[in-house]
Structure 1
Amino acid sequence: MNKSELIDHIATKADISKAAAGRALDALIGGVKTTLKKGGTVSIVGFGTFAVTKRAARTGRNPRTGAAIKIKAAKVPKFRPGKALKDAL
């Protein structure tokens, strides 16, 4: 399912226009991004939790040459599914 299919699904289930569903989805995504950027977490009961974790610096390999390269430490988004989502699958 891509973004436009998700918007269609939201519009159908919530009985709202596609434009309103698109704005709602964009607002949700924007809220999650803003909260994660500030270092917070977003928990949606029954769905899961979005959080930011730190990935340590490490040594990798260039696949073409095999030479060792340094990969910088980074902050990465993580998603941990909730129990209801796991049970639904």
Structure 2
Amino acid sequence: MNKTELVEKIAAGAGLSKVDAKKALDATLAAIKGALAEGDKVALVGFGTFAVNERPAREGINPSTKQKINIAAKKVAKFKAGAELNAAL
């Protein structure tokens, strides 16, 4: 399912126009992104939790040259599915 299909499902399920559903989805995604950028967790009970995970710097190997390279530390988004979502799958 892509974003357009998701907007259509939201519009049909909530009785909204596609324009309003797209605005609602964009606002939701922006709110989640903003919270993660500030280092907060976003917990949607029954669905799951979005959080920021810090990966430490490490040493890797370039597969084509077999040379060792340094991989910088970085922050990544993490999602852990909730109980209701896992049960639905």
What is the TM-score when the length of structure 2 is the normalising length? 0.98
2:78 — aligned with what?
78
Within a 5 Å distance, the mapping from 1:20-35 to structure 2 comes to 20-35=20-35
Secondary structure of 1:9's counterpart equals helix
1:61 — aligned with what?
61
Please give the per-residue CA displacement for 1:32-57, whole angstroms capped at 9, x wherever unaligned: 00000000000001100000011011
Secondary structure of 1:60's counterpart equals strand
Kindly provide the amino acid, as one letter, of the partner of residue 7 in structure 2: I
Aligned pair count reads 89
Distance 1:15 1:76 in 2: 35
Please give the per-residue CA displacement for 1:11-65, whole angstroms capped at 9, x wherever unaligned: 0111100000000000010000000000000000110000001101111111211
Runs (4+) of structure 1 moved beyond 2 Å?
none
1:47 — aligned with what?
47
What is the TM-score when the length of structure 1 is the normalising length? 0.98
Give ranges in structure 2 of 5+ residues lacking alignment: none
Give ranges in structure 1 of 5+ residues lacking alignment: none
Secondary structure of 1:8's counterpart equals helix
- CA shift, 1:66, in A, is 1.1
User: How big is the alpha-carbon RMSD for the aligned residues of Structure 1 and Structure 2?
Assistant: 0.5
